[in-house]
Each structure stands twice: as C-alpha cells, then as structure tokens.
C-alpha cells in the first residue's frame, strides 16, 4: 500500500440511517464523531472531501405522501432533515479541529451558506471539508442523486457510497452463504442487474461523468482511509 492517496478529491455519501447508529431515530453523536474522524484521516492524507448526508434518520418525503399528504411538502421536510444532519456532522468535525463548512441547496442564511459550485470548489481547494446540505434542492430527488451531482460539480475522482455492508454482493450476504463480493463491476451491470446500491438516476449520472463509485462499509472505523491508501474491502463500480 502506498501513502499517496488513490484519489485527490472525493465525495462521500452517508445515509441518514448511518448517523442513527443503533437508535431508532435521530442522531447518535458517537457515530457522527466516528465518521468525522474518518474524514479527518482523509484530510490528513491531503484528500479534498465533500460530503452529502441523507435525511432518512429524521424524515423522508414519501412518509407524507403515503398518508395522503403533499409529496412536495414532504420532500421539503426531508431536505430540511439533511440540513440538521449536516450541522451535526459539522459540529463533530469542528470538535476535532477539522475545518468544515455547510453549503445548503436551499437558502438558509441564518444557519449556513448557500450552495454554489464556485464556492464549493474554492473551499475544497483551500482544504476545507464541504458538507452539501439540502440534497439537490428539488423534490422528487434523493440524496444519492445529489451526491452524484455534487461529485460531478466538484470534479471528484470517486464517489464513496458508505453502506452497512462492505461492497456489492452477488446476492444478499445475510441470506445467502454463497454470496460473493465483487471486486469490480460496471455502472451498466449495476443498472442491468438492478443492484440496489444507489438509485438509478445517481448511477446514470455517475456513469455519464465517468465517476467511479466505491461501495464500502461505514461500520468499520478507518475504512475510508484504508481504501484511500489502496487497500480495504470495497467494490469499485467503474467503466
Ligand atoms: N430529498 C429531496 N430532494 C433531494 C434530496 C432529498 O426531496 O434532492 C428529500 C426526500 O424526501 C428524501 C429525504 O429528503 O426522502 C431524505 O433523503 P434520502 O431519502 O435520500 O436520505 P437517506 O436515505 O440517504 O438517509
């Protein structure tokens, strides 16, 4: 393994559920702190880090729609949940002296700065971690799609999709003892086989922009750094 990181700039996507830890709802601060220390390790290696956090630990738009409510309002609530999570992660980063800024797709000047591609790139160039809040800013989208979009906008070398398992398997490893983890797989294969890594729009956007997706487990502390050093357990989705 070399000390030179495999990627110079990455976009990390963590679901809201990852922040929930063992709780049924909300934010487990110890989990946010651990994710922050993984990000700090990447920064110490000189890697520029952008982060998109989901909101599923707090709210999902479909929850409103499924009970007869207005989907758009539900999605607005979901996007607000991602702002809460981003502020939590910023707090964890600041606690360990990692410079981080939240840029929201929905203007909320009292809480954080608004997103612009130019600002995001300037902050990353200056060595700050950029937390992209508010998803894409539009209803009917997901934070997976927001992650692929931001990855393309900041010129990320890879999109790290943090999940509960350490890669993409041929079958559900919890149900099938013969399931094998793929080392590499293409975007097209993911789409054709309907592998539920990220939603279709996110995979297609990554494919069009030739951004590899690294699927890895957020459960293991230090996992991000290991992969950046060229090791670790993961599946690489690329051409
Ligand atoms: N959301 C949205 N537009 C976006 C991103 C997110 O409307 O661009 C809303 C949507 O309601 C979604 C919620 O925010 O259910 C939380 O995001 P997501 O479900 O992607 O979070 P995760 O599953 O990653 O925790």
Strand partners, 181: 169
Go through the domains of the chain in sequence order and give each one's CATH number: 9-237 (3.40.1160.10)
For residue 2, is pLDDT > 80? no
Distance 44 CA to ligand 1 centre (A): 30
Say how far apart CA 194 and CA 131 lie, in whole Å.
29
Question: pLDDT (tens digit, 9 = 90+) per residue, 75-116?
Answer: 999 999 999 999 999 999 999 999 999 999 999 999 999 999
Residue to probe by mutation, ligand 1, list 25, 51, 73, 143, most atoms within 8 Å of CB: 143
Question: pLDDT (tens digit, 9 = 90+) per residue, 63-82?
Answer: 888 888 899 999 999 999 99
Q: Determine whether the annotation assigns residue 127 to a binding site.
A: no
8-state DSSP, 181: B
Give residues (CB < 6 A) around ligand 1: 15-17, 54-56, 60-61, 74-75, 78-79, 81-82, 135-136, 138-139, 141-144, 146
Question: Does this model's pTM top 0.90?
Answer: yes
Q: Determine whether the annotation assigns residue 232 to a binding site.
A: no
């Amino acid at each position: 393994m070399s000390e030179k990181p495999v990627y110079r700039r990455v976009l990390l996507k963590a679901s809201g559920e990852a922040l929930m830890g063992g709780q049924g709802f909300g934010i487990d601060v110890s989990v946010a702190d651990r994710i922050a220390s993984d990000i700090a390790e990447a920064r110490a290696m000189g890697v520029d880090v952008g982060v998109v956090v989901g909101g599923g630990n707090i709210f999902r738009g479909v929850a409103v729609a499924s009970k007869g409510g207005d989907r758009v309002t539900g999605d607005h609530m979901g996007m607000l949940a991602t702002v809460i999570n981003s502020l939590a992660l910023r707090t964890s980063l600041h606690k360990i002296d990692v410079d981080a800024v939240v840029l929201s797709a929905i203007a909320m000047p009292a809480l954080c700065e608004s997103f612009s591609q130019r600002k995001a790139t300037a902050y990353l160039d200056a060595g700050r971690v950029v937390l992209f809040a508010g998803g894409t800013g539009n209803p009917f989208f997901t934070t997976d799609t927001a992650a692929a979009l931001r990855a393309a906008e900041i010129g990320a070398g890879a999109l790290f999709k943090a999940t509960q398992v350490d890669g993409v398997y041929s079958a559900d490893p919890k149900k099938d003892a013969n399931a094998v983890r793929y080392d590499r797989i293409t975007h097209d294969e993911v789409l054709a086989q309907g592998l539920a890594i990220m939603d279709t729009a996110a995979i297609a956007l990554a494919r069009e922009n030739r951004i590899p997706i690294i699927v890895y487990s957020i459960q293991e502390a230090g996992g991000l750094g290991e992969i950046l050093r060229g090791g670790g357990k993961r599946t690489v989705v690329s051409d």
